[in-house]
Structure 1
Amino acid sequence: MRIALPPTIDAAAFAARDPSAVLLDLHGETMGTSWSLRFAAPAGTDPTPVRAAIVARLAGLVAEMSHWAPDSLLSRFNRSPRGTWTTLPPDFAWVMARGLAIAEATNGAFDPAIGTLVNAWGFGPFTVSAPPNAGAGGTARASSGCSRLTLSTTGGHLHQPGGVALDLSGIAKGHAVDVIADLLHDAGIRNALVEIGGELVGRGIGPDGDPWWVHLESPPGLTLPPLRVALHGLAVATSGDYRRGAHTLDPRTGCPIDTGVVSVSVIHATALDADAWATALTVLGPDEGLSLAENRRIAARIVTLIDGDVREYLTPALTAMLVD
């Protein structure tokens, strides 16, 4: 069994541990998937207010950034006329700022403005009868790309140049995990494991003094050496086309990827960054992706399946986390 530990340990979390605390579990649905929460609380705690706060917070994020909800702010931006500016609330503005930064860092392998391409291939909310031909694909690609966007220096306003459609499915879910973890922290719940659609954030420790242990997700049917991660002040996200509703396009070509990558897991300080980087490394493939991840000191596992040959690649940052 391979075990990955965080680079730093929060001694205060262990000093403040309450051995008499109990573990409580909550579950629900959001963003076309499920969410779950496990947290430590004093015996007799009523989790109802916690659940209500989570449901309300997630509903707010969906109302802002869902490309499936026609009345969301994102959908309204996508329909907005050329030359208009949309005022973004703080969550939306932060996601866009980070998305544009990661797009630049990955030379466009991650791009939050490929909604038109996603729709053209039928991977979004609209059904298509066939993949786009060369002409339609070229048109969709020409009208896509965050290089056409302008985000104000304050981050609060986004310019629509005409025809650009956002798709934040590769980053918004990660942000939602971070947001719920922050919500819990602000409510005094500092020991929790938050999960949305397989993306997780672990804060603090459990009542037994252990961190939150999770296994890196592997594609069905592939046998890989288990890798157990201590989520203590860390997040993990996995990208793979085997997952429900997942389809990976290369924003640079406008076509589905053909890199042989079937799964990428990224461990990061935030689920937002883990989410976006997992998508980017999936697009980049094992060679370019490993090189960039090494330069950026990103802890990641890349799994490829080429001609029946399964290979696993660990970045130096992840290898440095492993203990015997």
Structure 2
Amino acid sequence: MRIALPPTIDAAAFAARDPSAAVLDLHGKTMGTSWSVRFAAPAGVDPTAIRKAIVARLSGLVAEMSHWEPDSLLSRFNRSAPGTWTTLPPDFAHVMTRGLAIAETTNGAFDPAIGKLVDAWGFGVIPVTHVPSRLEVETARASSGWRRLVFAPSGAHLRQPGGSALDLSGIAKGHAVDAIADLLHNAGISNALVEIGGELVGRGIKPNGDPWWVDLESPPGLALPALRIALHGMAVATSGNYRRGAHTLNPRTGHPIETHVVSASVLHQTALDADAWATALTVLGRGGLELAHDLGIAARIVTVIDGTVQEYLTPGLSAMVSD
């Protein structure tokens, strides 16, 4: 089996670990999927209180950035009048800051402002019964796109240019994973594995000194060699149309992707970046490998063309892998 090890190891985590600590599991539902947390419990930690704090934190993020909740701040922004400025709370502002930066780096392969296109194809809140016409797609594209947004990070003000709709489904879940890991750290829990809908971040180590091992997700039915990852100070996210509710649009064409990518996985320091980059590489396909190489992004892209399965590892990931 192939194993991927992080480029750096936190020696302090090993020195500070408590071999007698119990490993506890918490579970729940959020963002239309499930969440789970596994952590080495320090003495005196109340799991019930931790779970309550996790639920509250996730509920707050949904209230800000869900495009499924009509009363969320995101939904209110999408309905706001042209020229309206919305002041974003810290989580929302952070997601927009990183999302717009990644949109620029990928030339729009990742785009947080494709809500109208998502709706046109029936992938959003309101399903449609037909494939959109060329006119419908072009109309949606005309009001979409990250370049139409004006964001002032210093004051966290976001301007509605008129008709634009945010859809943060390709980045907000990753941020939620990071946020829960930070919540646990602030509660004195330094060793934990956090997962939301298959996106994970690992902090610290297990009480026995092992890292948090996870197997890289692969599309069902494909005979790919297994890849086990030591999530130690790292996050991983996978994008793929085989996943429940997943539909990948190319923001630059307004149509579903034609890259033959069935899975794109990214390892990164944060789940937010891993999430957004997995989406971008799904859109870019093999053409994104050079960009990932130049930026040192650790990624795996899987394509299926005429029944032939091909796996591509970027140098950033290959450098971590050993048999």
TM-score, normalised to structure 2, is 0.99
Q: Matched residues in 2 for 1:42 and 1:166: separation?
A: 40
Classify the secondary structure of the residue corresponding to 2:91. helix
Q: Does 1:303 align with 2:302?
A: yes
**Counterparts of residues 68-107 of structure 1 (less than 5 Å):** 68-107=68-107
Question: Amino acid of the residue matched to residue 307 of structure 1?
Answer: D
Q: Matched residues in 2 for 1:9 and 1:43: separation?
A: 25
Name the structure 2 match of 1:314. 313
Name the structure 2 match of 1:262. 262
Tell me whether 4-13 or 152-161 shows the greater mean CA deviation. Answer: 152-161
Displacement of 1:323 in angstroms is 2.3
Q: Matched residues in 2 for 1:135 and 1:88: separation?
A: 33
Name the structure 1 match of 2:281. 281
Q: Does 1:164 align with 2:164?
A: yes
Classify the secondary structure of the residue corresponding to 1:169. coil
Displacement of 1:132 in angstroms is 1.0
Displacement of 1:63 in angstroms is 0.1
Question: Amino acid of the residue matched to residue 314 of structure 1?
Answer: L
Q: Matched residues in 1 for 2:280 and 2:27: separation?
A: 29
Q: Is the 8 A contact 1:64 1:92 kept in 2?
A: yes
Tell me whether 35-44 or 69-78 shows the greater mean CA deviation. Answer: 35-44
Displacement of 1:42 in angstroms is 3.9
Q: Matched residues in 1 for 2:134 and 2:92: separation?
A: 33
Question: Amino acid of the residue matched to residue 317 of structure 2?
Answer: L
Q: Is the 8 A contact 2:42 2:188 kept in 1?
A: no
Classify the secondary structure of the residue corresponding to 1:144. coil
Q: Is the 8 A contact 2:191 2:204 kept in 1?
A: yes
Tell me whether 131-140 or 170-179 shows the greater mean CA deviation. Answer: 131-140
Name the structure 1 match of 2:125. 125
Displacement of 1:155 in angstroms is 5.0
Q: Matched residues in 2 for 1:311 and 1:210: separation?
A: 31
**Counterparts of residues 1-324 of structure 1 (less than 5 Å):** 1-42=1-42, 45-154=45-154, 156-286=156-286, 288-324=287-323
Spell out structure 1 runs of 4+ moving beyond 2 A.
Answer: 42-46
Report the CA distance shift for 1:101/1:155 in structure 2 as closer, same or farther (over 3 A): farther
Q: Is the 8 A contact 2:178 2:270 kept in 1?
A: yes
**Aligned residue pairs, count:** 323
Classify the secondary structure of the residue corresponding to 2:136. helix
Q: Matched residues in 2 for 1:321 and 1:123: separation?
A: 36
Q: Is the 8 A contact 1:94 1:155 kept in 2?
A: no
Q: Matched residues in 1 for 2:288 and 2:197: separation?
A: 24
Alpha-carbon displacement from aligned partner over 1:228-269 (angstroms, at most 9, x marks no partner) = 000000000000000011000000000000110000010000
Q: Matched residues in 2 for 1:113 and 1:184: separation?
A: 31
Classify the secondary structure of the residue corresponding to 1:75. helix
Displacement of 1:31 in angstroms is 0.2
Question: Amino acid of the residue matched to residue 232 of structure 2?
Answer: H
Classify the secondary structure of the residue corresponding to 2:63. helix
Q: Matched residues in 2 for 1:203 and 1:252: separation?
A: 36
Q: Matched residues in 2 for 1:155 and 1:146: separation?
A: 19
Work out the percentage of aligned pairs sharing the same amino acid: 78
Cα root mean square deviation, aligned:
0.9
Displacement of 1:45 in angstroms is 4.4
Classify the secondary structure of the residue corresponding to 1:301. strand
Alpha-carbon displacement from aligned partner over 1:107-140 (angstroms, at most 9, x marks no partner) = 0100000000000000011111112101111000
Displacement of 1:43 in angstroms is 6.3
Alpha-carbon displacement from aligned partner over 1:35-57 (angstroms, at most 9, x marks no partner) = 00000014674300000000000
Question: Amino acid of the residue matched to residue 113 of structure 1?
Answer: A
Alpha-carbon displacement from aligned partner over 1:82-124 (angstroms, at most 9, x marks no partner) = 0010010000000000000000000010000000000000001
Q: Is the 8 A contact 2:241 2:247 kept in 1?
A: yes
Classify the secondary structure of the residue corresponding to 1:104. helix
